[in-house]
Amino acid sequence: MDKLTIGLVLPDVLGTYGDDGNALVLRQRARMRGLKAEILPIKLNEPVPDSLDIYTLGGGEDTAQILAAEHLIADGGLSRAAAAGHPVLAICAGLQVLGESFRASGRIVDGVGLIDATTAGMQERAIGEVASTPTGTGITAELTEPLTGFENHMGATILGPAAQPLGEITRGVGNADTNATADLRDGAMQRTAEGAVQGNVIATYMHGPALARNPQLADLLLAKAMGITLAELEPLDIPAVTQLRAERLRRS
């Protein structure tokens, strides 16, 4: 691969919480390895190319989520890309939009259906540091380092059998609270879940941006886009990133 193209999907409606930074992290870590890398912003009502190397989606409010879901369903490009094996990273509202359904503006809205998940509302906002141990499921099998971020949401996301958690919570709320899972047979497992993994889609409630705080996760996405293993990717030694990560993990 001589060039990497990162799709920044709907930054005009899913760019509320600085999650555009994930695309910047991917581009910079690729360039530091001598790879040509560019970001392609894809705005609302623009077609989503289905042949980019990586796709990132960020967070947004209710109206923005509805607009994003309607566009991505009608366009179909992101779904075709995921089906073709291109890695997708979805953050917070992006996670909800890629699920089967989510609640927004007082109603249930159809999602894109790339993740077997439904999202309802929580009684209290989950806000603060969130940390988890990676489950190592599916595409994330090579992840070994703790995951850390900042959550700010009121979505209670319940995973269906086709999706697995990205991480097992060690701090924070993650996908769901006690009230959301009280009647579920696997409610205890759901209450420890953070994020989701299904096929080539990795989704999480971690802001931060997530990839700035979790460089191993960023490198995993790069490796998958390049068709190599994480172990084959040239390591990077960036003291500032190591220091930031150590500080955040101490707080977790």
Which active-site residues does the annotation give?
A: 92, 207
Burial of 63 (0-12, 13-18, 19+ CB in 10 A): exposed
Beta bridge partner(s), residue 92 = none
Phi/psi region, residue 240 (left: phi>0; alpha: psi -120 to 50; beta: rest), is alpha
- Separation CA 142–CA 125 (nearest Å): 32
Cα–Cα distance for residue pair 129/148, rounded to 1 Å: 8
Residue partners of 49: CB distance under 8 A and separation at least 6 = 7, 40, 42, 77, 81
213 assigned binding-site residue: no
DSSP symbol at 235:
P
Binding site feature residues for substrate: 125
